[in-house]
Amino acid sequence: MKPILLIDFGSTYTKVTAVDVDSNILLGTAGSYTTVQSDINNGLAAAFELLEQKTGKLNYAEHFACSSAAGGLRMITSGLVPELTAEAAKQASLGAGAKVVGVYSYQLTEDDISEIDAANPDIILLTGGTDGGNSECMLYNANMLAQAQGSFPIVIAGNRTCGRECQRILQGRQTYLCENVMPKFGTLNIEPAQRQIREIFLQRIIQAKGLSKASELISGILMPTPAAMLKAMKLLSDGYKEESGIGELIGIDVGGATTDIYSVANGMPAKANTVYKGLPEPYAKRTVEGDIGMRYSIHGIAEAAGFERISELSGISPQRVQQLVEYLADNTETLPYNAELAAMDFALASLAVEIAVTRHAGKMEQVYTAMGLTFLQSGKDLSEVKRIVVTGGSLVHSKNINAIAAHALYQPAQPMFLKPKSAQILVDRSYILSAMGLLSEHYPENALRIMKKELLSHGNTE
């Protein structure tokens, strides 16, 4: 036996997972409150004690960890055009596992700098212009950022002809020069910036978030938790060497504050009369809906869907729905302990899935040209994706997983959104996805085999 301990320091819970990489089995999982405000090792010790009650004492060969504690990795991005370099910078940050707290395009204003100072991000990603293209905007924004009060590091990943000049303007600040996130018009190149963001996370952010005490006890905190999730999804989809993956997929994680959607799919137009519009999206894509969540962001669901729609799905009167929304927003720890709250959570989870997947998926527009009717596709075509992986308490513990997951599918009332037509539902019952992304850094084949064994099929939904 070669046991490995995997730790996920979350904002609320610290989760520990034990696996044996000799036999590719899950030994056990446990969780306890995260105690980053006092001593993060207290929460880790409590979770470890619970795990030991299940597995017995184990002599772990290695310990790895990921973290989204203390707000996770908070980033602000700046680009030139909203749909191009600003979007590329946002995609780079999300794929690196960051929580994007601000996206700016064109020239930064004094008010923008005040907002950035107030947001106090962990990292700023400065982009703008293709290589050899517009340099005026990025140089201007470097001058504006030089006036900011915060001590955040700045990753410069825009027009290569002015990168060094930006570094000179920002002298005295910690800066990192990377390849352009969009070197040519319509070409995405986000991996170099993502690698740099992760290096900064390892060098600076762990210490800044009070995690250095824990990092001394383990082999290392390797990445932000969302990056581990995306890594697991990609491995599960693609496979590793001789071990096959399960094919293109969508991952759904509905939390109390946000709803994260992952897709691993090509997503380019499949029909002859369809033309792609805008910046191509990453093969492995993550989006975060910061206004859609079961408790902290419950008002966002109500605002996007309306009380009538929640009432329709839950069977609860609109007036009572309104009361429950306020109650759950004020009492975020509330679990669905009776039939009314279970019905309410069913409706909220269904709508969170529906809103978040609709925003994540691509859409079509009809245009009439000299050649006749043509379709313009923006974003990813996910209509042929056949697997949906769900995680998060509101989904995993529900008795109606398929009914909730069905809200990720194509809807005749919204025919232009490119969501899956039908899919097999796979459930992460033991919350192991982030742990497997972490494990895959050193043991990819083992992580893949454990995921394929542990993710339970919940049938097909149409």
Q: Is the pLDDT of residue 39 over 90?
A: no
Q: How confident is the model at residue 147 (pLDDT cuts 50, 70, 90)?
A: very high
* Distances, alpha carbon 246 to alpha carbons 25, 234, 283, in Å: 19, 10, 15
Mean pLDDT of all residues in 12-29: 93
Give the three-state DSSP class for 267.
coil
What pLDDT shows up at residue 170?
96
Q: How confident is the model at residue 347 (pLDDT cuts 50, 70, 90)?
A: very high
What pLDDT shows up at residue 353?
96
Q: Which residues of 157-193 are buried (b: 16+ CB within 10 A; e: fewer)?
A: bbbbbbbeebbebbeebebbebbbbbbeeeebbbeeb
Mean pLDDT of all residues in 60-67: 89
What pLDDT shows up at residue 378?
93
Token pair recorded at residue 313: 């799905």
Mean pLDDT, the chain, whole residue set: 91
What pLDDT shows up at residue 452?
94
Cα–Cα distance, 347 to 91 (Å, whole number): 30
Fold of 249-427: Nucleotidyltransferase; domain 5 (3.30.420)
Q: How confident is the model at residue 40 (pLDDT cuts 50, 70, 90)?
A: confident
- Contact (CB, 8 A) for 345 and 250: no
Same fold, 1-69 and 74-203: no
Percentage of the chain beyond pLDDT 90 is: 70
What pLDDT shows up at residue 305?
96
What pLDDT shows up at residue 246?
95
Fold of 1-69: Nucleotidyltransferase; domain 5 (3.30.420)
Helix (H) or strand (E) holding 8: strand 3-9
Among 121-135, 161-175, 203-217, 426-440, the minimum mean pLDDT is found in 203-217
Q: How confident is the model at residue 460 (pLDDT cuts 50, 70, 90)?
A: low
Beta bridge partners of 389: 251, 426
Q: How confident is the model at residue 461 (pLDDT cuts 50, 70, 90)?
A: low
Q: How confident is the model at residue 223 (pLDDT cuts 50, 70, 90)?
A: confident
pLDDT tens for 228-239 read 999 999 999 999
Q: Where are the beta strands (DSSP E) in 127-203?
A: 154-156, 175-177
**Domain residue ranges of the chain, discontinuous segments joined by +:** 1-69, 74-203, 249-427
pLDDT tens for 75-133 read 999 999 998 999 999 999 998 888 899 999 999 999 999 999 999 999 999 999 999 99
Token pair recorded at residue 147: 């006036």
Q: How confident is the model at residue 443 (pLDDT cuts 50, 70, 90)?
A: very high
Q: Which residues of 270-305 are buried (b: 16+ CB within 10 A; e: fewer)?
A: eeeeeebbebebbbbbbbbbebbbbbbbbebbbebb
Domain range 74-203, its CATH number among 3.40.640.10, 3.20.20.70, 3.40.50.2300, 3.50.50.60: 3.40.50.2300
What pLDDT shows up at residue 205?
66
Question: Cα torsion for 340, 341, 343, 344, to the nearest 10°?
Answer: 120
pLDDT tens for 306-328 read 999 999 999 999 999 999 999 99
What pLDDT shows up at residue 235?
97
Cα 320 to chain centroid, rounded: 33
Cα–Cα distance, 334 to 356 (Å, whole number): 23
Closest CA to 8 of 48, 38, 61, 55: 48
Among 388-397, 418-427, 446-455, the minimum mean pLDDT is found in 388-397
What pLDDT shows up at residue 400?
87
Among 12-21, 130-139, 435-444, the minimum mean pLDDT is found in 12-21
Helix (H) or strand (E) holding 216: helix 212-217
Mean pLDDT of all residues in 232-256: 95
What pLDDT shows up at residue 441?
92
What pLDDT shows up at residue 72?
74
- Overall pTM surpassing 0.85 (yes/no): yes
Q: Is the pLDDT of residue 41 over 70?
A: yes
Q: Find which of 8-12, 321-325, 370-374 is predicted with most confidence, using mean pLDDT.
A: 321-325
Cα–Cα distance, 164 to 170 (Å, whole number): 10
- Contact (CB, 8 A) for 442 and 233: no
Q: How confident is the model at residue 26 (pLDDT cuts 50, 70, 90)?
A: very high
Among 6-15, 54-63, 234-243, 293-302, the minimum mean pLDDT is found in 6-15
